[in-house]
Structure formats: C-alpha cells, structure tokens
Amino acid sequence: MSAVLHNHHLFTSESVGEGHPDKICDQISDAVLDECLRQDPESHVACETFASQALILVGGELSTRAYVDVQKVAYDVVKRIGYTDPGYGLDCNSMAVLNMIHSQSSDINQGVAGNGLAEFKGLQGAGDQGMMFGFACRETEELMPAPITYSHSLMKKAAQVRKSGEVSWFRPDSKSQVTVEYEGCRPVRIDTVVISQQHDPGIPYEEIKSAVIEKIIRPVLEPTGLLDSSTQYFINPTGQFVIGGPVGDTGLTGRKIIVDTYGGMGRHGGGAFSGKDPSKVDRSGAYMARYIAKNIVAAQLAERCEVQLAYAIGVPFPVSVFVDTFGTGAAPDSVIAEAVKRVFDCTPAGIIRTLDLKKPVYSASASYGHFGRPEFSWEKTDRTQDLQKEIR
C-alpha cells in the first residue's frame, strides 16, 4: 500500500454557495443547456456566462432546434438563488442580460456527428480532445472524500437557513472550507472549519459568528462525530461580508472545477462542466470516470480508486483507460483496467447511452458538486457484479 495512506496528515477542501458569482454563472449556463435539451435532446451546446455588477452576459455556441429565451432563463435562476433586492447589487428585476450566443462551428460539429475522417464515418466522435478523471473512496457513504462532502453540506445548510427565513439577514453569497485530519486514508477529526457568509449591514460580529456556528456548522458536522474541543472555527475572517455576489467579485462559468469535483483529492483534467452538452467529453467523460471508479470501490476491488479516460476530437473511442488504486486494489491495477474496458462502453455514444445524458438534468448539478449525489445516473453502482466476475 502506498506510504501516503499511512501518514498522519491534514487535507482541506472548499465549496461555494449557489449565490457565489461563479456559481451564478454555472447555473445560468446549465439552465440554458437544460432548456435546449428539454426541447431538442440532440442539441449541441457550449454556453458561457459572465456576471459583473448588475450585468449578466451569456455567450457561446449552439446547434439546436430549440428556442431559448435567455433573458427569462437568467431571470429565473437569479430569482431562485435569492438575488431579489436592489440592495444586493444584483437584482433579478433590474439586471441587464445580454445574449451573445451564436451557431456552433461546422468543423467541430462534423467530427461529433461522425462526418469527420473516413475511418470514423457514421460514428459519433468526441467533442474535443482531453483527459478526464474520476475518483472514489470509502471515506463517506457517498464514496466521496470527506472534506469536499462536508464543505458542500455546509453550503446546502446555509442556503436552507437563508431561504427559510430562519436567519433573515443572511444574503446569497457564501463560501466554506473544511480541513480534515487523517490517519492514513481514514478521517479521524475535523481540524478547522471556515465559513464566509454574506449578511445585511449592521449585524454585530458576535451575532454573525454565533448564528453560523449554531445554525449551520453544528447541525451539519456534529453528527459526523469528528468535531472536538480543539476544532478551530473561522467565521467571516475579514470581520464583515456585506458586499458580495457579482458586485464584490466578477463571476464566470467554469472557474470552480475543483469545487465541482473532489475538492483537490484526485487529479483533474482541466475541463469545466457547466454549459456543455454530453457530446463534450470534458463533462460526459468525467461523469463516466466517476461512474467507473465508484463501481470499482463499491465492488470491494479497492479502498480508493482514480480512473483516467482520454479522448481525441472526432475519434469514437477513448485513446487510453488508466486505473490507479493507490496500492489498495484487490487485483493489480492493470487487471482492473482490462476489466473496465470489457464492462464499460467508454465511447462517446456509449457514455451518453449508458448514463442517459440527453435529458435536462444539469441545472441541479451546477451547485454543491457534481458527484456524491444519488439523483444522478453516474452515481449508480449497478456494475459491481460484472466487475467482480471479470476479475475472477
């Protein structure tokens, strides 16, 4: 087993709330994608959103029969998040929305549609080149790393407390960070919790700190049994957090790729997800890699596992499949990788078919992480017996 898994160490991951400026943009981009897929499941979409002050700019490329009212999509997302007050700087009722979407490049489309090189005629190719990673481990019930799982849970709770009115002076923007102490690959305690929660002006700091600890942190983290008397809490470390959202920081689609995945535990190929239809392997390949890694761990073939898939644009199969179990595998990594190739169809078309990715399911993934959530098809563990059989 790898020596790192025996070490006593700390590991930190962060999350951001749905009102964070980058997450506003992710949610709008995925809402545009979902509207396209709702009307036309064959849509090809690459949608990017930019937010600054009271301006939302939506751009990108579409190949679709759908009609999308971009202004309404942006309005609905911003309203749902809770930017409904002019005092927040961004207000759904008065913001400007610019639509700069145009048609998809025919050069890209011909490779995806199977009209590229002669040897690939009629076969759906990858929408781009690149490598994607999936990861799974036994640290949580979701087979996800503990730090990112707890960070997301804190942000979900913050939104719930805000939207329910339980704390009426919370505003939409927020960030969290959780540091977990490990013995080997086992979480043993939570060392540090950081939360920055936007709030109305004039709220005393001690009231802010008390509300965040008692209404968000303790309900979420005490059930883990990992808090102790030495756990450190840093709440709004700058002292106050009144100016937030796109007024405090410009937002852009695709800037929270580590928040979206595994919180830095495991590698990342660099491609963002939001606003991209499943022909883009940046997204679908990463979902497939997670699906494979989770099934490997669920099948008791490894304590933790990372899967890499790599593609070339227009090519209808992966150019490589790699499995790393960090020395925890029940069989050699090369043997597990060969089993993966036999059990899972990792062609772009096969991924879309296996995970049923032409449905409008993406808006929900645009905040609180794309993985570890049972509502998504790539979180199924339905191929464990097939993997075990292949290994035997």
Contacts 24+ apart (CB under 8 A), 160-169: 161/215, 161/216, 162/82, 163/82, 166/215, 167/211, 167/215, 169/199, 169/200, 169/203
Of 175, 265, 257, 181, the closest CA to residue 224 belongs to 181
Question: What is the model's pLDDT at position 120?
Answer: 58
How far CA 27 is from CA of 14, 82, 208, 228, in Å, comes to: 18, 13, 28, 36
Cβ–Cβ < 8 Å for 304, 326: yes
Distance separating alpha carbons of residues 311 and 272, to the nearest angstrom? 15
Residue 389 dihedral angles phi and psi, to the nearest 5°: -65, -40
Is there a contact between 159 and 81 (Cβ–Cβ < 8 Å)?
Answer: no
The alpha-helical segments, DSSP class H, found in 213-322 are: 218-221, 245-248, 257-260, 281-298
pLDDT in tens, the chain (392 residues): 344 555 899 999 999 999 999 999 999 999 999 999 999 999 999 999 999 999 999 999 999 999 999 999 999 999 999 999 999 999 999 999 999 998 866 555 555 655 555 565 567 888 889 999 999 999 999 999 999 999 999 999 999 999 999 999 999 999 999 999 999 999 999 999 999 999 999 999 999 999 999 999 999 999 999 999 999 999 999 999 999 999 999 999 999 999 999 999 999 999 999 999 999 999 999 999 999 999 999 999 999 999 999 999 988 999 999 999 999 999 999 999 999 999 999 999 999 999 999 999 999 999 999 999 999 999 999 999 999 999 98
pTM: 0.94
- The bridge status of strand 320-324 relative to strand 304-311 is antiparallel
Per-residue confidence (pLDDT) for residue 309, from 0 to 100: 97
Write down the pLDDT at residue 125. Answer: 84
Report pLDDT for 48: 97
The arrangement of strands across the sheet holding 170-183 comes to: 8-16, 170-183, 186-199, 232-235
The pLDDT value recorded for residue 1 is: 39
